[in-house]
Amino acid sequence: MYRTNTCGELRISDKGKTVTLAGWVQRVRKLGGMTFVDLRDRYGITQLAFDEAKNKELSDQAQKLGREYVIQVTGLVEERASKNSKIPTGDVEIIASELNILNTSDVPPFTIEDETDGGDDLRMKYRYLDLRRNAVRRNLELRNQLTFLVRDFLVKRNFIETETPCLINSTPEGARDFVVPSRMNPGEFYALPQSPQLFKQLLMVAGFDRYFQIVKCFRDEDLRADRQPEFTQIDCEMSFVKQPDVIGLFEELIKYVFSTIKSIDFNEPFLQMTWHDAMRLYGSDKPDMRFGMTFVEITDIVKNRDFNVFNTAAYVGGICAEGCASYSRKDLDALTDFVKRPQVGAAGLVYVKYNADGTFKSSVDKFYNQDDLKAWAEKFNAKPGDLMLILSGSDVQKTQIQLGQLRLEMGDRLGLRDNTKYAPLWVVDFPMFEWDEESSRFKAMHHPFTSPKAEDLQYLESEPGRVRADAYDFVLNGVEVGGGSVRIHDRNLQSRVFKAIGLTEEEANSKFGWLLTAFKYGAPPHAGLAFGLDRMVSLLAGLDSIRDCIAFPKNNAGRDVMISAPSVIDQSQLDELCISLNVPEKDK
């Protein structure tokens, strides 16, 4: 065998044992007549000692070892003279008697250390080396632990893990599909699934009652830190349940995960908030609840002055930053520049300082007197020393979203978004539809298989924008970790929803006729939810990006720089698939 023990398991109790280890050379140090080698594997690091006085040939061989050489060593476990309390094996070392070089290594392009000198692009190019680093490996071990816990939890509650197809038909109602040409059906294409949505509903029709799958999904959309073109969902569906049943069960799952992995116990039910309240108070459908700073609307008390910006605004509101009246002009200019960024899009920022002496200093002093500003402060429930930051606009929701981004920026500046704290939240009662300017029609906010709330069915044809969905999202620290809904199980209601989003009867039957047919054969009431596995792991690990909890991620351009994908394919393959290319000149 190559080893009797791993590099992370030996302790002082093993003193006197002869062992064989195998792994990678982390570093080599020569001190007088001794050569020390740190040997690393997935489990840890063990120090090897080579004594020149006892075996010069073996010592000389050890001195020639390079970083990342793969070696096998046999020796005696002894107590270290100079112990290392930073590693579990720091009380012992191996006095080497045999050394076998299993493979040599070129000098790595970056250091294989927790704090590496490699940039993102370089580490992604040599991802197999990056994965040797403890920091990255621990994230994947956490991912493995989480998937095990999820499977254990769900199987014990009668869920059946069932695979669904990866080659399906394209349904371009949501994000863009990745499409796959079919050689055996020239001119026709499969799509990679954005989710197993319809198949898991069919499993409910089939009587499976409780389904789950840890499944790869694909969306061809612009990337950011918490998005990848391929991602993994913990996908679940249940029959004969309503919204409280689903929320209750999966809240239990989240509590189980946090208790087991983080030793954090949530003893109270998670907070629930409607979508409308989330937008009104936080300007986001996934508000970060680790800190307050909720919105205060002052539209009704700022009108009828000479400040036309407020006079013409449909919404004027702001946040109160406690203890920030000492902000300098430089600080305030930086905040103004922030809200004017294209990603935020506000025209400007109004501030009011509530001075320690009870007076007010504002960027709109010449339009509003001290009594006016005092009335604002009363609305904000501000105290001396506080800073009020105010935005306005002609579009209420757009302005609230801008204010929400300012709130998060202030949360960052004030250190209120602590990654060691967790604030779970359920956001419920989303709008069923949202207006799409490009197509001049309503589209489903989540997907068209979500059930409208029963009390809003009366508005489905007459006022679609008024209809609320029986939908729910799980939000953690301002990140949407999961979401789901009660599904439509009635053929007639599903047809009404298709009509509301502009699908003709012919189009609905062409795209989803098989689903409507299935509903004719006794579809039970059902509901479901999917968690983003990548996002959940990144939150548990305290990461800002999901890339470091995925073994082989894509970069921000959707490319795998290690294997150079995507790439061009041979003309013979294109011919076989009956595909001709029309690449824009700028992309060639």
Segments in 42-83 forming alpha helices (H)? 56-63
Residue 498 lies in a domain: no
**pLDDT at residue 173 is higher than 80:** no
What residues make up the domain containing 48?
12-103
**pLDDT at residue 95 is higher than 90:** yes
Among candidate residues 103, 137, 152, the one where a domain is terminated: 103
Among candidate residues 417, 442, 470, the one where a domain is terminated: 417
Return the percent helix, strand and coil in the chain, to nearest 5.
30, 25, 45
Among 587, 588, 569, 545, CA closest to 124: 545
- Between strands 350-354 and 360-362, the pairing is antiparallel
**pLDDT at residue 321 is higher than 90:** yes
Reported as a single tens digit per residue, the pLDDT across 31-78 is 999 999 999 999 999 999 999 999 999 999 999 999 999 999 999 999
Reported in sequence order, the residue ranges of 419-549 that DSSP labels E, i.e. its strands, are 424-428, 433-436, 441-444, 471-476, 479-486, 526-532
Specify whether the backbone of 358 is left (phi greater than 0), alpha (psi in -120 to 50) or beta: left
**pLDDT at residue 304 is higher than 90:** no
Token digits of residue 395: 């579009």
Mean pLDDT of the chain: 95
Q: What is the rounded distance in angstroms from the CA atom of residue 216 to the CA atom of residue 550? A: 12
Arithmetic mean of pLDDT, 333-342: 97
| Of residues 440 and 7, more confidently modeled | 7
Among 433, 401, 419, CA closest to 281: 401
Residue 302: the pLDDT is 95
Arithmetic mean of pLDDT, 565-573: 93
Reported as a single tens digit per residue, the pLDDT across 456-467 is 999 999 999 999
β-bridge partners, 318: 296, 390
Residues whose CB falls within 8 Å of the CB of residue 61, separated by 6 or more in sequence, listed in order = 99, 101
Among 482, 500, 488, CA closest to 436: 500
Residues whose CB falls within 8 Å of the CB of residue 451, separated by 6 or more in sequence, listed in order = 469, 470, 485, 486, 487, 488, 489, 493
Q: What is the rounded distance in angstroms from the CA atom of residue 237 to the CA atom of residue 245? A: 12
β-bridge partners, 390: 318, 350
- pLDDT exceeding 90 applies to what percent of the chain? 89
Find out whether 535 and 546 touch, Cβ atoms under 8 Å.
yes
Residue 556: the pLDDT is 85
Residue 545: the pLDDT is 86
Total count of domains within the chain = 2
Among 515, 539, 322, 530, CA closest to 423: 539
Transcribe 187-244 into DSSP letters. T-EEE--S--HHHHHHHHHTT--EEEEEEEEE------TT--SEEEEEEEEEES--HH
Residue 174: the pLDDT is 64
| Strands, sheet with 479-486, edge to edge from the N-terminal-most edge strand | 160-161, 210-218, 230-239, 526-532, 479-486, 471-476, 424-428, 271-274
The count of C-alpha atoms lying within 13 angstroms of the C-alpha of 173, restricted to the half-sphere facing its C-beta, is 24
Arithmetic mean of pLDDT, 233-251: 98
User: 62: domain CATH number?
Assistant: 2.40.50.140
Three-class secondary structure of residue 473 per DSSP: strand
Residue 211 lies in a domain: no
- pLDDT exceeding 70 applies to what percent of the chain? 99
Reported as a single tens digit per residue, the pLDDT across 111-170 is 999 889 889 899 999 999 999 999 999 999 999 999 999 999 999 999 999 999 999 998
Residue 367 lies in a domain: yes
**pLDDT at residue 293 is higher than 90:** yes
Residue 536 lies in a domain: no
Residues whose CB falls within 8 Å of the CB of residue 208, separated by 6 or more in sequence, listed in order = 160, 162, 239
pLDDT band at 240 (very low <50, low <70, confident <90, very high): very high
- For the stretch 548-567, what's the b/e string if a residue is b when 16 or more beta carbons lie within 10 angstroms of its beta carbon? bbbeebbbeebbbbbeeeee
What is the CB neighbour count within 10 angstroms for residue 545?
A: 17
| Of residues 546 and 224, more confidently modeled | 546
Arithmetic mean of pLDDT, 267-286: 97
Residue 454: the pLDDT is 95
Arithmetic mean of pLDDT, 536-550: 92
Residues whose CB falls within 8 Å of the CB of residue 292, separated by 6 or more in sequence, listed in order = none
pLDDT band at 437 (very low <50, low <70, confident <90, very high): confident
Q: What is the rounded distance in angstroms from the CA atom of residue 273 to the CA atom of residue 287? A: 10
Residue 175: the pLDDT is 76
Element at 360 (helix H, strand E):
strand 360-362
Residue 224 lies in a domain: no
pLDDT band at 553 (very low <50, low <70, confident <90, very high): very high
Reported as a single tens digit per residue, the pLDDT across 195-238 is 999 999 999 999 999 999 999 999 998 777 678 999 999 999 99
Residue 225: the pLDDT is 66
Q: What is the rounded distance in angstroms from the CA atom of residue 391 to the CA atom of residue 70? A: 60
Among candidate residues 385, 400, 417, the one where a domain is terminated: 417
Q: How far apart are the first and last CA of the chain?
A: 53
Residue 29 lies in a domain: yes
Residue 299 lies in a domain: yes
Residue 350 lies in a domain: yes
pTM, full prediction:
0.92
